Structure 1
């Protein structure tokens, strides 16, 4: 017969959520940093330029 699981404490729940939100905050900061770097032109990140791709396909 099925038995209900024990209730998770608020502290465990909050700790798990804090970890998840912390990871999301770090990824958001990385994305913002990359975006700023690309806009400033100092980026070493290589990304496709849609305008150049259109010119290549027309030739």
Structure 2
């Protein structure tokens, strides 16, 4: 027979939401930093470029 689950406390709910928001904020910060480094040309990784862009640069 099904038994109802106990109610989650507000503090536990808020704790989970805060953790989720913190993770999202960190990912957004990393993405922004990566975008800035790509725009300034100081990125430390190799990424594919379109062939059209290579011809224009030459």
Q: TM-score, normalised to structure 2's length?
A: 0.83
Tell me whether 41-50 or 25-34 shows the greater mean CA deviation.
41-50
Q: Which runs of 5+ in 1 are unaligned?
A: none
Q: How does 1:37-52 map to 2 (within 5 A)?
A: 37-51=37-51
Q: Which runs of 5+ in 2 are unaligned?
A: none
Moved over 4 A (4+): none
Match of 2:17, SS state, is helix
Q: TM-score, normalised to structure 1's length?
A: 0.82
Match of 1:2, SS state, is coil
Contact 1:38 1:45 in 2 (8 A): no
